[in-house]
C-alpha cells in the first residue's frame, strides 16, 4: 500500500507539471481542501483565516477555469511549473485515511520570470471505491512568513 500512496503523490505532481489541471482536480474528495498557510508549518489547522490559499474543490475549479480563460491577463504568457519531490514518507495510516509528508522544491516560470519555492506538503488521502482521493493538501512553504512573489499555479 505504501508504494501506491507514494505513486499517487508523484502522479499528482506530474499532472500539475503537465498542466493537466482537470485530472488533478479529479483527485480531490468532494470535501477536499488545498491549503497554503501563511505561517507555514507553525500554523495550526484551526487558524484557517491566515492563508495564501485555502480552497475547496469548487474554488479550485473556478481558479482553473480562470487560468484556462482568455481573459486571464497574468497568463498571456502561460505559466509552467516543475515539482521536484523527495520520497514521500507515510506518517499515519488508520481507517482508510493516510497522511504523507513530502519535501519539495517548486519552480514556476512565466516569460522570463522564475519563482522558486521550498517546503513540504502534507497530503491526507482517503481510500474510496474510486481510488485514493485528496482530503487535504497542505503546502508548508519554508519562507511563508516572508513577502512572496506572485504564485500563479499550485505548489
Residue 133's domain spans which residues?
A: 2-141
Domain count across the chain: 1
State the pLDDT at residue 74: 64
Residue 102 belongs to a domain: yes
Task: Kindly state the average pLDDT of the residues 4-33.
Answer: 96
Q: Does some domain include residue 148?
A: no
In a domain, 149, yes or no: no
Is residue 150 domain-resident? no
pLDDT band at residue 149 under the 50/70/90 scheme? confident
| 124 strand-pairing partners | 99, 136
pLDDT (tens digit per residue) in 49-105: 788 889 999 999 988 888 777 666 666 677 889 999 999 999 999 999 999 999 999
> How many CB atoms lie under 10 A from the CB of residue 63?
19
DSSP line for 61-105: HHHHHHHHSTT-GGGSS--EEEEEEPPPEEEEEETTEEEEEEEEE
Total-model pTM = 0.91
Q: Which pLDDT value is given to residue 75?
A: 61
Tell me what percent of the residues of the chain surpass a pLDDT of 90: 63
In a domain, 155, yes or no: no
Tell whether the model's pLDDT for residue 33 goes beyond 90: yes
Quick check: is 154 in a domain?
Answer: no
**Per-residue model confidence (pLDDT) at position 76:** 67
Residue 42 within any structural domain of the chain: yes
- Residue 147 lies inside a defined structural domain of this protein: no
Which CATH number belongs to the domain containing residue 43 in this structure? 3.10.450.50
Poorest-pLDDT segment among 76-80, 118-122, 134-138, 141-145 = 76-80
Q: What angle do CA 71, 59, 90 make, to 5 degrees?
A: 125
Amino acid at each position: 500500500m505504501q508504494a501506491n500512496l507514494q505513486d499517487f503523490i508523484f502522479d499528482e505532481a506530474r499532472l500539475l507539471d503537465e498542466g493537466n489541471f482537470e485530472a488533478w482536480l479529479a483527485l480531490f474528495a468532494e470535501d477536499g481542501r488545498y491549503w497554503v498557510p501563511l505561517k507555514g508549518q507553525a500554523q495550526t489547522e484551526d487558524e484557517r483565516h491566515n492563508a495564501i490559499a485555502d480552497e475547496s474543490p469548487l474554488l479550485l475549479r473556478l481558479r482553473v477555469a480562470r487560468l484556462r480563460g482568455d481573459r486571464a491577463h497574468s497568463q498571456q504568457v502561460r505559466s509552467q511549473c516543475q515539482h521536484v519531490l523527495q520520497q514521500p514518507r507515510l506518517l499515519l495510516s488508520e481507517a482508510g485515511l493516510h497522511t504523507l509528508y513530502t519535501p519539495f522544491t517548486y519552480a514556476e516560470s512565466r516569460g522570463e520570470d522564475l519563482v522558486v519555492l521550498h517546503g513540504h506538503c502534507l497530503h491526507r488521502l482517503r481510500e474510496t471505491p474510486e481510488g485514493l482521493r485528496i482530503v487535504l493538501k497542505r503546502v508548508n512553504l519554508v519562507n511563508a512568513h516572508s513577502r512572496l512573489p506572485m504564485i500563479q499555479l499550485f505548489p
